[in-house]
Amino acid sequence: MPIATPKQYRAMLDAAQKGGYAYPAINITSLTTANGALKAFSDSKSDGIIQVSTGGGQFASGLEVNDAAFGSIVLAEAVHRLAEKYDVLIALHTDHCHPSKVDGFLRPLLAESRRRKENGQGPLFQSHMLDASELPLDENMTLSVDIMKECVELDIILEVEAGVVGGEEDGHDTSGVAAEKLYTTPEDMMTVYETLNPLGRFMFAATFGNVHGAYKPGAVKLKPTILRDGQKVVMDKHGAEAEMDLVFHGGSGSSIEELRETLDYGVIKMNIDTDTQYAFTRPVVTHICENIEGVLKIESEVGNKKVYDPRSYLKKAEQSLCDRLMKACDDLRSTGQTIHQ
């Protein structure tokens, strides 16, 4: 099945909102991680979202090119082709883009989607994230409106953030942010809704204490009821149809009870990166340790090509990432929920 059309993507989000589940949105950096993600969604019979960050795109472009937008285009085009071999719907998304990177990352990607649409194709990405949470809310919304107008023209959904996800991940570092900014207020949620809803559909990464990175269970203090209370304020004024499509960032270390509670409050997408990074790397380390004399040419020996061939350990990494993502599908209740006919 090719990548979801804009209409199919909206149907995916509608189905998740109505069905009380969310899509894992996994960050990829290579063909190997992309293949692991596609296999996981297919094996789980779950539609899903594959993401590229600025750092991921930069890495994918290679040391010499070192261009986040170009690398993201390369990965997205590859996933468009690979997705044709699977029987679930896949959407492509870009992760945190800060205001300083809009011109060098987000606008070139929008230009590529415009070029594709002029040639009779769909947009390259189905959604993008503008993370202007570092700005005062009024400046955040001004920039969000500007970007969203272009996205609407291209049948692309914009994800925005108000409030700050703490911690550090893939170039996104807010580890020194004041604690009170880790929580989006009902007033913030109302402002976001009333500013963006007249333009079209959007996704909203409201924050409720979530933090990027890896933490032991109990270390991150989430307050999912913030999402409930904010949605209620908006829906009390604007009606049940005003329920927003919310996004959960920084879920590593959260309990399954916390994850699933957010589904009741309108979360339809949850980012996963830290946990799948570890899942990918762990079998590589095991392979190297168990085959150290074959991997290294020790004391002028020749080693063992079968174990230092990158494919020997990257296959294991791909499967391990796949297994972890399938668990995320189970946790978020998207397993078996594909709407692909």
CB 232 within 8 A of CB 195: no
Q: Say how many residues make up the chain.
A: 341
CA distance 67 to 60: 9
DSSP-derived secondary structure for 4-33: PPHHHHHHHHHHHHHHT--EEEEE--SHHH
Beta strands 90-94; 157-162: pairing state: unpaired
Give the pLDDT of residue 164.
59
Whole-number pLDDT of residue 220:
55
SS3 296: coil
d(CA 208, CA 227): 7
β-bridge mates for residue 246, sequence order: 204, 267
Say if residues 41 and 90 touch (Cβ distance below 8 Å).
yes
Which residue, 157, 187, 167, is CA-closest to 268? 157
pLDDT at 178: 46
User: Residue 221 has what DSSP assignment?
Assistant: -
Give the Cα separation of 136 and 167 in Å (integer): 19
Count of Cβ atoms closer than 10 Å to residue 285 Cβ: 11
Encode 237-262: b = buried (16+ Cβ within 10 Å), e = exposed.
Answer: eeeeebbbbbbbbbbbbbeeebbbbb
Question: Measuring CA to CA, how many Å separate 239 from each of 49, 224, 236, 242?
Answer: 29, 21, 6, 6
Low-confidence ranges of the chain (pLDDT < 70): 1, 164-182, 211-220, 252-253
CATH code for the part of the protein at 6-331: 3.20.20.70
Q: Which of 95, 170, 245, 331 is labelled catalytic?
A: 95
pLDDT of residue 255: 85
Q: For strands 90-94 and 127-130, give the pairing.
A: parallel
Q: State the pLDDT at residue 250.
A: 78
Is position 67 annotated as part of the catalytic site? no
- What does residue 126 show for φ and ψ, rounded to 5 degrees? -90, -20
User: In the prediction, which pLDDT does 330 show?
Assistant: 98
Pull the structure tokens for residue 265.
């409050």
Contacts of 286 (CB under 8 A, 6+ apart): 316
Q: What is the pLDDT of residue 180?
A: 53
Indicate the Cα dihedral angle 138, 174, 124, 127, nearest 10°: -50
